[in-house]
């Protein structure tokens, strides 16, 4: 079976291909460019789970990057266990057809305790003194120290947060080359996050995006050359695109004014008390999931939100 490498360049859309992306543009001309419709919601965990299962979010269960767990009255974001994703995974289906099929899943989400043959995902350390230290989780376990020795510590703080930059995508790209060369997987899934950072901070029309495009294009060009030299098929795709926005709809403020949201003062801040609220929203990008404590109040909350300017559908 021909080896395949999927490069998930999140945020990349056809209109971003141009002078700043010579490698990707040449790759598209050589192999073809096809439109890809995303799912609702167009967020990382939902889209990646659809890619790996072929199911919609309502079927595989990853309905957002995080959601409300009613049994513990907590909103949990960016959970890691692959058990949260229902449905047969693409590598499981392939393995049924060919028992020799193997898969490396590199920085795609829900990557702990996965049935993939090799997995690498961010997993910080939290010592007793309150620090947060960069680290990864890997399967098989020996892959973790192997990667750290070869590449140095994973640059976690360049992957998440205000200092996110190209260093995390560079580390992931080097990781992908190493895993591909040493494990020889049939299918390699690689997540390259860099383009998403500037697009979300600045919007797609900001002049600074050209520099981000050049940086990720250089990495993609190196990876494409490396894998194609070995005879692998390379697929470049994206989870979603970022569009310009001019404002926000503060759903929880609407619910609070209606007396549905409970707030808990903590030091100088107000924190949402989800378990004590009659209704509240968990928003991500341009979609919000609204949780209502009592089913009989759903029509009331729905009618309230339908009257809010800027909300397209409830």
Residue 160 has pLDDT above 90, yes or no: no
pLDDT, position 127: 95
> Do 169 and 180 contact (CB within 8 A), yes or no?
no
Residues in a beta bridge with 283: 288
Instruction: Give the whole-angstrom CA distance, residue 117 versus residue 101.
Output: 9
> Do 4 and 186 contact (CB within 8 A), yes or no?
yes
Token pair recorded at residue 156: 């976690």
Instruction: Let me know how long the chain is.
Output: 314
The residue among 232, 314, 249 whose CA lies nearest residue 284 is 249
What is the pTM for the complete model shown?
0.95
Token pair recorded at residue 274: 């989800």
The three-state secondary structure class of 217 is: helix
50, 66, 266 from 44: Cα distances, Å: 10, 10, 31
Q: Of 84-93, 101-110, 198-207, where does mean pLDDT reach its minimum?
A: 198-207
Antiparallel, parallel or unpaired: β 136-139 and 187-192: unpaired
Architecture per CATH, domain 4-237, reads as 3-Layer(aba) Sandwich (3.40)
Instruction: Give the whole-angstrom CA distance, residue 65 versus residue 87.
Output: 18
pLDDT, position 179: 99
Antiparallel, parallel or unpaired: β 269-272 and 263-266: antiparallel
pLDDT, position 254: 98
Angle between helices 209-229 and 194-202 (to 10 degrees): 160
Instruction: Give the whole-angstrom CA distance, residue 58 versus residue 60.
Output: 6
108-123 per-position pLDDT tens digit: 999 999 999 999 999 9
> Do 134 and 151 contact (CB within 8 A), yes or no?
no
The residue among 3, 11, 4, 60 whose CA lies nearest residue 191 is 11
pLDDT, position 111: 97
238-263 per-position pLDDT tens digit: 999 999 998 899 999 999 999 999 99
Question: Considering the chain, what percentage of its residues have pLDDT values greater than 70?
Answer: 100
CB-based contacts of 191, cutoff 8 Å, min separation 6: 8, 10, 48, 106, 107, 108, 109, 172
271-285 per-position pLDDT tens digit: 999 999 999 999 998
The three-state secondary structure class of 56 is: coil
Domain extent listing, the chain: 4-237, 251-306
pLDDT, position 236: 98
Instruction: Give the whole-angstrom CA distance, residue 302 versus residue 294.
Output: 13
Q: With bands split at pLDDT 50, 70 and 90, how would you rate the model's confidence at 150?
A: very high
Residue 129 has pLDDT above 90, yes or no: yes
Neighbours of 45 (CB within 10 A): 26
Hunting for tokens 């503060």 — which residue is that?
Answer: 250
């Amino acid at each position: 079976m021909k080896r395949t490498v999927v490069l998930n360049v999140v945020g990349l859309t056809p209109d971003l291909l141009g002078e700043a992306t010579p490698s990707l543009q040449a790759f598209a001309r050589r192999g073809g460019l096809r439109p890809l419709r995303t799912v609702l919601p167009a967020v990382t965990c939902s889209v990646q789970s659809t890619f790996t299962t072929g199911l919609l979010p309502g079927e595989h269960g990853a309905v957002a990057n995080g959601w409300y767990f009613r049994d513990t009255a907590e909103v949990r974001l960016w959970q890691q266990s692959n058990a949260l994703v229902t449905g047969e995974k693409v590598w499981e289906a392939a393995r049924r057809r060919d028992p020799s099929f193997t898969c490396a899943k590199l920085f795609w989400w829900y990557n702990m305790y996965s049935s993939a043959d090799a997995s690498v995902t961010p997993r910080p350390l939290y010592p007793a003194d309150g620090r947060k230290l960069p680290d990864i989780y890997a399967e098989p376990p020996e892959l973790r120290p192997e990667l750290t020795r070869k590449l140095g510590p994973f640059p976690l703080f360049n992957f998440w947060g205000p200092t996110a930059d190209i260093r995390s995508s560079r580390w992931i790209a080097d990781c992908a080359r190493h895993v591909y060369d040493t494990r020889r997987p049939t299918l390699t899934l690689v997540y390259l996050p860099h383009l998403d950072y500037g697009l979300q901070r600045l919007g797609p029309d900001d002049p600074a995006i050209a520099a981000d495009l050049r940086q990720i294009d250089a990495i993609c060009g190196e990876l494409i050359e490396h894998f194609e030299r070995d005879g692998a098929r390379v697929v470049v795709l994206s989870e979603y695109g970022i569009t310009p926005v001019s404002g926000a709809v503060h759903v929880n403020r609407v619910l609070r004014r209606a007396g549905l949201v409970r707030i808990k003062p903590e030091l100088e801040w107000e924190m949402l008390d989800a378990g004590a609220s009659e209704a509240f929203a968990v928003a991500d990008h341009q979609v919000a999931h609204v949780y209502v404590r009592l089913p009989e109040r759903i029509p009331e909350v729905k009618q309230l939100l339908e009257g809010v300017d800027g909300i397209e559908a409830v």
